[in-house]
Chain A
Amino acid sequence: MNLIQKYKPKTIRDLIISKEKIMEVKRLIAERKPIIIAGPTGCGKTTLAHIMAKDMDYELLELNASDQRNKANIEEILSPAIKEASLFAKGRLVLIDDIDALSGTQDRGCIPSIANLLENTKWPVLLTTTDPFSQKLSLLRKKTALVNLEQIKDTILIDYLSGICKKENIAFDIKLIKNLASKNKGDIRATLNDLQASIKNNELISLELGERERLSSITTALSLIFRSADLKKILNSLNETDLNLDEAMLWLDENIPKEYTKKDEIYKAYSSLSKADKFKKRIIRRQHWRFLVYENFFMTVGINLSRTSNILSYPEYKRSSRLLKYFWANQKNLKGKEIARKISEKTHDSISKVRKEILPLIKIIYRNNNEISDLDLTQEEIDWLKSM
């Protein structure tokens, strides 16, 4: 029996998404407000939509990436449904799945026609996406509420997986479950797939987990780049991994200061890395892919040649946390952005200018228990200003 199908959530209770988010979505649907549900792959966006429809007794009208989606198509499929009442259920819930998968060329004209739809429909509309801040969606963002589903926490996944194992009478070592959970970064679907693959004779066995293998290959590549004296091997080091050059660049960026200690070494290594980055951008700008040779050269041999002293220490190479930090900071700054938007409406300044030049001053005003009443800030926003 396929676990994914068997344990497909059937009611709200089966969901492992935070209850607050579920209630928020429910409330917005009840208010007939169009919603963008955002969240990483496999966190339950589509499932949530299906359950909501069932729970609130709406007929679900779904358009997903497998349908051909263009302007005419969207209008043809959705327009009649939008206007007519549903035959059986209380109403209709329109779900447009994976909106960021709309392709620029084939699905041309979709976004404006969806925007148009949002204005004319009397039924609630749900859009799902992995990237709510994509440029493509800017037109829709203004007309919709955004509900951001976070990555499912490992601890929740671990509970969930052990629960399933118990129900299925599968003997398991909690360590294996933890591995499964952390490897898939909150992707429930992928985790269940892995779980299914790891069951043998009613017992959980260890698959040779991809991640660990991958780590060792990265480490090998990095030590070749940093330490080898064999030019050919150094040049090929990154081909041996399944890392693309962008990821490799992040790994190098994170680990150069761990590997090199002398100032001139750090300087040389970073100027090589920045040259590689320069060629990377030239590839994109000019679509001249032979520049890859140089990008790779500066990332490998260029960095290798930075060494001027003997190898003394053997650091443990770490994954870069930079992208994750960008994400967190973005989340944190959302409130500030919203406040800046409110101010910018009053002052005719751009949001970015308000954030840089005016917000710091407004914070001082609020921290000293004064306020500017016509900004219409919510209590939450005022608290945020005071806490900064």
Chain B
Amino acid sequence: MNSVWTEKYRPSTFAEVIGQDLILERVSALTKQKNIPNLLFAGPSGVGKTSLILAAAKELYGDNWKENVMSTNASDERGIDHVRYAVKDFSRTKPIGNAQFKLCILDEADALTKEAQQALRRTMEIYSDNVRFCLIANFSSKIIEPIQSRCTVFRFKSLDENAMAKIIEVITQKEKLIMDKKAIEAIVNIADGDVRKAINVLQTSASLNKKITDELVYNIENAVKPREIKELLMLSLQGEFTKSRDKLLDSMLKHGLSGLDVLKQIQKEILNLEISDKDKAKLIELCGEIEFRLVEGSDEYIQLEALLASFCLIGK
């Protein structure tokens, strides 16, 4: 294999985009007029937000699109300095060639701190002649009001199963893979509306075997799913506090998980447990309190230990 398929099969024209019909229509109309407003794309991951704006960029600027486009991932560069220097430097220079304006794509913009967003707001105003912004976020509520009011907001929905299956079939043909209906269903099922995940799982499966079965797909899914969280949850419910706290630290370190990552998974796993609904409700209530403390910035490990200790008490 010579490239990552999520990139290889990223649509490069509007015609290749599958799904998001209504938004696609609006954005392609705006692009044809060569005058897009500042944009805010909100929606879950893997539904085509980045793909759509990249397709728009290629439409706007043609082959040399990279000259007039800056694309950064805000969750890697979330500080105010990035907005002050990199984004501002990009914004203050004139567009190259015949372009009317440059395009600045801020992916995962909901990870920008409030201060960085404030700085961005000024930049958006001052250089509005030179540059248009496209902010991409999972939750529009994490973008401050003044920025939202300067943007046209598009809300993306998860892709439905038909669109997802269509994308998989296109790749299957081009890569000369053999897949039956059940295997496609399996990928659609575990991807749960996230095209990125679907294509990644597909590529991994194909690296093992050109003939892909549903069994292979589920095996891969199982191999990458961290089991530790479920295990430590079970240990705590069995009253094995010390073992479950040790496992907690191990898995946080091994997979680089944050306290919130762990808590999210614990909370999801609780729903699958075979315990009474009353107990589930109790456990989830405890999760809520601890999540609140984590968001306030407390020591992740101590708070999760307190959670596990309280689970020990509720379990048998």
A84 contacts B by Cβ under 8 Å: no
Contact of A344 among B76, B208, B241 (CB under 8 A): B76
Contact A368 B4 (CB under 8 A): no
Closest residue of chain A to B54, judged by CB? A348
A241 contacts B by Cβ under 8 Å: no
B204 contacts A by Cβ under 8 Å: yes
Chain A residues with Cβ under 8 A from B299's Cβ?
Answer: 249, 277, 280
B162 contacts A by Cβ under 8 Å: no
**Which among A151-159, A160-168, A262-270 touches the partner chain?**
A262-270
Chain B residues with Cβ under 8 A from A104's Cβ?
Answer: none
Chain B residues with Cβ under 8 A from A322's Cβ?
Answer: 249, 301
* A357 to B197 Cα, complex, angstroms: 8
Contact A263 B239 (CB under 8 A): yes
Contact B220 A274 (CB under 8 A): no
Contact of A281 among B54, B257, B298 (CB under 8 A): B298
Contact A350 B207 (CB under 8 A): no
CB 8 Å contact bits of A261-300 with B (1 = contact, 0 = none): 0011011011101100110111011000000000000000
Contact A249 B302 (CB under 8 A): yes
Contact A364 B2 (CB under 8 A): no
Chain B residues with Cβ under 8 A from A328's Cβ?
Answer: 253
Contact B312 A266 (CB under 8 A): yes
B275 contacts A by Cβ under 8 Å: no
A169 contacts B by Cβ under 8 Å: no
CB 8 Å contact bits of A177-212 with B (1 = contact, 0 = none): 000000000000000000000000000000000000
B50 contacts A by Cβ under 8 Å: yes
A358 contacts B by Cβ under 8 Å: yes
Closest residue of chain A to B5, judged by CB? A372
Contact B2 A374 (CB under 8 A): yes
Chain A residues with Cβ under 8 A from B81's Cβ?
Answer: 112, 138-139
CB 8 Å contact bits of B68-100 with A (1 = contact, 0 = none): 000101111001010001000000000000000
A351 contacts B by Cβ under 8 Å: yes
* A374 to B1 Cα, complex, angstroms: 9
B106 → chain A, closest Cβ, in Å?
Answer: 11
B130 contacts A by Cβ under 8 Å: no
* A280 to B293 Cα, complex, angstroms: 11
B261 → chain A, closest Cβ, in Å?
Answer: 7
A333 contacts B by Cβ under 8 Å: yes
* A349 to B138 Cα, complex, angstroms: 13
Closest residue of chain B to A275, judged by CB? B306
User: A266-B309, A365-B204, A372-B1 in contact; A277/B73 too (CB < 8 A)?
Assistant: no
User: A263-B241, A285-B296, A347-B4 in contact; A361/B204 too (CB < 8 A)?
Assistant: yes
Interface residues of B: mostly helix, strand, loop or mixed? helix
* A318 to B303 Cα, complex, angstroms: 20
Chain A residues with Cβ under 8 A from B111's Cβ?
Answer: 350
Which of A264, A343, A358, A371 has its CB near the most chain B CB atoms (within 10 A)? Answer: A358
Contact A352 B75 (CB under 8 A): yes
Chain B residues with Cβ under 8 A from A387's Cβ?
Answer: none
Contact B73 A372 (CB under 8 A): no
How many B residues touch the partner, as a band? Answer: 35 or more
User: A273-B302, A281-B297 in contact; A348/B107 too (CB < 8 A)?
Assistant: yes
Contact B73 A348 (CB under 8 A): yes
* A253 to B301 Cα, complex, angstroms: 9
User: A266-B241, A267-B309 in contact; A333/B223 too (CB < 8 A)?
Assistant: no
Chain A residues with Cβ under 8 A from B76's Cβ?
Answer: 344, 350-352
Chain B residues with Cβ under 8 A from A273's Cβ?
Answer: 302, 305-306
B310 contacts A by Cβ under 8 Å: yes
B6 contacts A by Cβ under 8 Å: yes
CB 8 Å contact bits of B277-289 with A (1 = contact, 0 = none): 0000000000000
Chain B residues with Cβ under 8 A from A326's Cβ?
Answer: 253
Which of B54, B254, B310 has its CB near the most chain A CB atoms (within 10 A)? Answer: B310
Contact A346 B313 (CB under 8 A): no
B291 contacts A by Cβ under 8 Å: no
Contact of B256 among A263, A333, A372 (CB under 8 A): A333
CB 8 Å contact bits of A350-388 with B (1 = contact, 0 = none): 111101111011101100101111110000000000000
Closest residue of chain B to A358, judged by CB? B200
A366 → chain B, closest Cβ, in Å?
Answer: 9
Which of B74, B79, B290, B306 has its CB near the most chain A CB atoms (within 10 A)? Answer: B306
A23 contacts B by Cβ under 8 Å: no
User: A263-B313, A271-B306 in contact; A357/B298 too (CB < 8 A)?
Assistant: no
Closest residue of chain B to A366, judged by CB? B207
A sample of 12 cross-chain residue pairs with beta-carbon separation below 8 angstroms, ordered by A number, consists of A138-B81, A257-B242, A267-B312, A270-B309, A271-B310, A273-B305, A280-B298, A347-B7, A350-B73, A350-B111, A357-B196, A364-B223
- A→B interface (CB under 8 Å): 112, 135, 138-139, 249, 253, 257, 263-264, 266-267, 269-271, 273-274, 277-278, 280-282, 284-285, 322, 325-326, 328-329, 333, 336, 343-344, 346-353, 355-358, 360-362, 364-365, 368, 370-375
Knowing that A266-B241, A344-B76, A349-B73 are A-B contacts, what are 19 other residue pairs whose CB atoms are under 8 Å apart, sorted by A's residue number? A263-B239, A266-B312, A269-B309, A274-B293, A274-B298, A333-B256, A346-B3, A348-B50, A352-B76, A357-B200, A360-B223, A361-B201, A364-B204, A364-B208, A365-B1, A368-B207, A372-B2, A373-B1, A374-B3
